[in-house]
């Protein structure tokens, strides 16, 4: 198995399935690796999966969810090693468990959206940042339930991903307004709640998300606006940053930027870290959690 083959599988999934996130695409890729590249021992299969994960981390895609999702997937399926004697049985059980894991991932977004539905009330004004598939689904379900609300969407520089979020909301008939990132403080006075997604959730209950989330959350706390994070549990990650410098380098910059040899201090980071003190609640497929509950859920996920 070659690194380039894995990268092609991963990137093709992202191209062909517009609504799939990088984390889910990574899990689908690992399943394809198990199915396609036949080996004779558990050790060889492990090496193939590790090579596949490393290949995807070098695809110029956001690494945060890829890292946490793959780690949890590997943990989930490799319990099979202890259950059976023959490798063929082991491989089949790993495939079966992998498909179960993927099914749970695909259902997670809907569960999160339903958890948040009651917090979107008639007449409320919501501020969101960047483009989040799970936040979008929650808002679309609220609109489908005949709730009337207004959404302010940040443009989210440098890639203007908020423009796509705004376009999708407007297309669905939601009253949405695109604003400059620098207008957050101005708009927050009118806002009832802040609702954002997450690329990763840390052990402390803080989140790693699109650059600008931290500043938004600080302003929201100052103005006493609740900050709700909508995220799937496969994004829970066993890392514990204390500040922005503690975020792993591969989370902050694309692979091509790291390999270019440029001074990273002069490059624009993709994400920032928002500590748990700025987060009111996390809506997940495991339920509605306070930030302090995340560490307990992480222990359960890896038991």
Q: What long-range pairs does 17-20 form, CB within 8 A, spacing at least 24?
A: 19/133
Checking if the pLDDT of 84 tops 80, the result is no
Q: Which residue has the higher pLDDT, 169 or 80?
A: 169
Mean pLDDT score, 200-205: 95
Q: Which CATH architecture has domain 3-110?
A: Up-down Bundle (1.20)
pLDDT tens per residue, range 86-107: 777 778 888 888 899 899 988 9
In the chain, domain spans: 3-110, 113-302
pLDDT reported for residue 302: 75
Is CATH 3.40.50.10470 the classification given to domain 113-302?
yes
Checking if the pLDDT of 261 tops 90, the result is no
pLDDT reported for residue 93: 83
Q: What mean pLDDT is reported for the chain?
A: 91
Question: Counting Cβ atoms within 10 Å, is residue 5 exposed (0-12), middle (13-18) or buried (19+)?
Answer: middle
Same fold, 3-110 and 113-302: no
Mean pLDDT score, 178-207: 96
Checking if the pLDDT of 219 tops 90, the result is yes
Mean pLDDT score, 155-161: 93
This prediction's pTM: 0.90
């Amino acid at each position: 198995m070659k690194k380039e083959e894995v990268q092609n599988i991963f990137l093709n999934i992202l191209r062909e399935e517009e609504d799939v996130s990088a984390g889910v695409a990574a899990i689908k890729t690992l399943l394809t690796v198990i199915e396609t590249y036949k080996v004779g021992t558990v050790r060889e299969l492990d090496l193939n999966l590790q090579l596949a994960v490393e290949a995807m981390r070098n695809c110029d895609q956001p690494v945060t969810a890829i890292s946490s999702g793959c780690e949890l997937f590997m943990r989930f399926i490799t319990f099979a090693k202890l259950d059976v004697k023959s490798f063929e049985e082991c491989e089949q059980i790993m495939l079966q468990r992998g498909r179960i894991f993927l099914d749970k991932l695909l259902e997670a977004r809907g569960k999160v959206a339903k958890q948040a539905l009651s917090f979107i009330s008639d007449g409320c004004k919501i501020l969101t940042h960047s483009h989040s598939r799970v936040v979008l689904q929650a808002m679309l379900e609220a609109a489908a339930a005949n709730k009337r609300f207004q959404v302010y969407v940040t443009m989210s520089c440098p890639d203007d991903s908020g423009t796509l979020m705004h376009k999708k909301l407007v297309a669905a008939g939601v009253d949405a307004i695109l604003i400059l990132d620098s207008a957050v403080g101005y708009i927050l006075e009118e806002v009832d709640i802040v609702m954002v997604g997450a690329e990763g959730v840390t052990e402390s209950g803080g989140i790693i998300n699109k650059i600008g989330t931290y500043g938004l959350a600080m302003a929201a706390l100052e103005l006493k606006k609740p900050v709700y994070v909508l995220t799937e549990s496969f994004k829970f990650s066993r890392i514990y940053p204390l500040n922005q410098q503690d975020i792993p380098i591969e989370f902050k910059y694309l692979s091509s930027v790291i390999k270019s040899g440029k001074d990273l201090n002069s490059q624009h980071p993709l994400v920032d870290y928002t500590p748990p003190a700025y987060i009111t609640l996390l809506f997940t497929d495991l339920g509605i959690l306070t930030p302090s509950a995340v560490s307990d859920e992480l222990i359960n996920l890896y038991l």
